[in-house]
């Protein structure tokens, strides 16, 4: 592997490849965003942070990145299938609001969570419902090329027909024969030629509220289509990187490849990248398991599986301490270890400001720089980078203690290096310690009452009265009790 260049693991070729953009210095990056019908949970944080690192690092390397991360606000049906209620519409029905109120509410909350995690905003954040025309246009192209068919007002992608001309399943490794044996016939699928065909356009039932007119029917687009249509619109028929969670590999991304190839006659994406899943205490996350912990619940410590609150930077650091392609298991112990680790790291780095320059250098910052780049160039290996940063933090402690020395030039270079990797690339920052004002105030009041109690024991009435009177002037009532005193704010 050439460590001087960025290598990324391509899910399509199933190996690491040197990253060569199609049209340097421009890079097109598309990542599947959330379906906004509920609060973001830990499973949303991982792709957001993984591709934030990629976005930051590509920009650091000098590329001009157009990062498109969509918002799914229509067409994502329950169970990710072609039948069932639209996830957004269902929430709207239950809450008795407009579907777009649901979308706005959870999009705003998603943005707030992403800001807390220090995830940079994408260059474009398109919504599926704002691109119905583009999706209809793509359906027409696929129909024209013979890879889709109409059935009672709905349009389905003809997987078997496509598979005659292009290899279907190249991303997920699923083959059509196998799919035929494993996909169940569900109610309503008699419309399809084959059970594995997927909807490009669905005719809306009378009670379905999210609907648009078309030459086929009043209806709505299939979930997979939006990403093909929006990536084409903003990044072109061929672009560099498509990312997302491994759970989207099949059928979502496999369908995207088929749609784009059927419409354009060729592959759209050069590098497919997928982050692995997060498990909770060794278990998959699932609605039935009740272990979807939302980010807000993490930040507030407000869930039965949480011992206490964890800050956004702790969550970010925890996610970065694993390679994005490994599974990551959440537990209270693991998060508390991350919290301590991050604190130790930030503490050591802040020591740099106290280091006095010397006439000689005991080591060169360039050694660390080479290690840092080698880690990032190896498919964004953030855990290895963090291990090197911990090694460096020991060196920084020695510098601060005067056991090792650096010249002014090397010291400046080291500060710049730490800033670049810790803040710019990993996106870590020192968090303001949350001040629990009620608890702090009680601590201070107890201290004052203790001093007053001791003054009284020494018959120092002047001090005892002064404390009581001045607290009273500030609105605190002091009540003497058998064992000392109590306070209330009046």
Residues that bind Zn ion (CB under 5 A): 32, 227
Between 71 and 422, CB nearer to Zn ion: 71
Between 32 and 204, CB nearer to Zn ion: 32
Q: How far is the CB of 58 from Zn ion (least distance, A)?
A: 20
Which stretch of DSSP H or E encloses residue 26? strand 26-31
Q: How far is the CB of 309 from Zn ion (least distance, A)?
A: 32
Burial of 179 (0-12, 13-18, 19+ CB in 10 A): buried
- Identify whether 118 is preceded by a cis peptide bond (ω within 30 of 0): no
The CA–CA distances, whole Å, from 92 to 85, 107, 180, 350 equal 11, 14, 35, 48
Between 76 and 452, CB nearer to Zn ion: 76
Segment 405-410 long-range contacts (CB within 8 Å, at least 24 positions apart) = 405/358, 405/359, 405/360, 405/361, 405/362, 406/355, 406/357, 406/358, 406/361, 406/362, 406/363, 406/365, 407/357, 407/358, 407/359, 407/360, 407/361, 408/357, 410/361, 410/364, 410/365
Q: How far is the CB of 69 from Zn ion (least distance, A)?
A: 10
Between 67 and 149, CB nearer to Zn ion: 67
Q: How far is the CB of 77 from Zn ion (least distance, A)?
A: 14
Q: How far is the CB of 88 from Zn ion (least distance, A)?
A: 15
434 CB neighbour count, 10 Å cutoff: 9
Between 106 and 310, CB nearer to Zn ion: 106
Between 225 and 293, CB nearer to Zn ion: 225
Q: How far is the CB of 49 from Zn ion (least distance, A)?
A: 18
- Sign of torsion, CA 468 469 473 478? positive
Residue 71 CA to its chain's centroid (Å): 13
**What tokens appear for 144 in the block?**
């024209």
Q: How far is the CB of 227 from Zn ion (least distance, A)?
A: 3
Cα-only R_g, the chain: 29
Between 227 and 262, CB nearer to Zn ion: 227
Across 152-193, the runs of DSSP E, i.e. the strands, are 154-157
């Amino acid at each position: 592997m050439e460590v001087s260049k960025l290598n990324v693991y391509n899910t399509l070729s199933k190996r690491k490849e040197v990253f060569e953009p199609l049209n340097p210095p421009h890079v097109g990056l598309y990542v599947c965003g959330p379906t906004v019908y509920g609060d973001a949970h830990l499973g949303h944080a991982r792709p957001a942070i993984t591709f934030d690192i990629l976005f930051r690092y590509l920009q650091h390397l000098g590329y001009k990145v157009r990062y498109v991360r969509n918002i799914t606000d229509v067409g994502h049906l329950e169970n990710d299938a072609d039948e069932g209620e639209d996830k957004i519409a269902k929430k709207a029905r239950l809450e008795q609001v407009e579907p777009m109120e649901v979308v706005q509410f959870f999009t705003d909350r998603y943005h707030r969570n992403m800001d807390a995690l220090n995830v940079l905003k994408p260059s474009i954040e398109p919504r599926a419902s704002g691109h119905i025309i583009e999706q209809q246009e793509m359906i027409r192209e696929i129909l024209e090329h013979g890879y889709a068919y109409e059935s009672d007002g709905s349009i389905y992608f003809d997987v078997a027909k496509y598979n005659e001309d292009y290899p279907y399943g190249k991303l997920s490794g699923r083959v059509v024969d196998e799919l035929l044996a494993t996909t169940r016939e569900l109610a309503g699928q008699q419309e399809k030629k084959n059970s594995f065909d997927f909807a490009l356009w669905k005719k809306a039932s009378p009670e379905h509220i999210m609907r648009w007119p078309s030459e086929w029917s009043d209806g709505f687009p299939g979930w997979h289509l939006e990403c093909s249509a929006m990536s084409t619109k903003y990044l072109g028929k061929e672009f560099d990187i498509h990312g997302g969670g491994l759970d989207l590999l099949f059928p979502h991304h496999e369908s995207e490849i088929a749609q784009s190839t059927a419409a354009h006659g060729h592959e759209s994406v050069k590098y497919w990248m997928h982050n692995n899943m997060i498990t909770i205490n060794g278990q998959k996350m699932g609605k039935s398991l009740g272990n979807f912990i939302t980010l807000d619940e993490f930040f507030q410590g407000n869930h039965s599986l949480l011992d206490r609150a964890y800050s956004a930077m702790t969550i970010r650091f925890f996610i970065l301490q694993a390679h994005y392609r490994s599974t990551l298991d959440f537990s209270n112990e693991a998060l508390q270890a991350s919290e301590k680790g991050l604190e130790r790291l930030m503490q050591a780095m802040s020591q740099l400001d106290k280091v006095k320059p010397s006439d000689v250098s005991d080591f060169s910052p360039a050694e660390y720089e080479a290690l840092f780049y080698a880690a990032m160039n190896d498919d964004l290996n953030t855990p290895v980078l963090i291990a090197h940063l911990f090694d460096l933090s020991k060196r920084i402690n020695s510098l601060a203690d005067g056991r090792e020395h650096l010249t002014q030039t090397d010291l400046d270079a080291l500060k710049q290096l730490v800033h670049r990797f810790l803040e710019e690339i990993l996106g870590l920052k020192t968090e303001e310690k949350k001040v629990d004002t009620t608890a702090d105030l009680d601590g201070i009041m107890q201290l004052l009452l203790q001093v007053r109690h001791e003054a009284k024991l020494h018959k120092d009435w002047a001090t005892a009265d002064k404390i009581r009177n001045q607290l009273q002037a500030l609105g605190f009532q002091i009540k003497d009790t058998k064992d000392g005193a109590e306070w209330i704010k009046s």
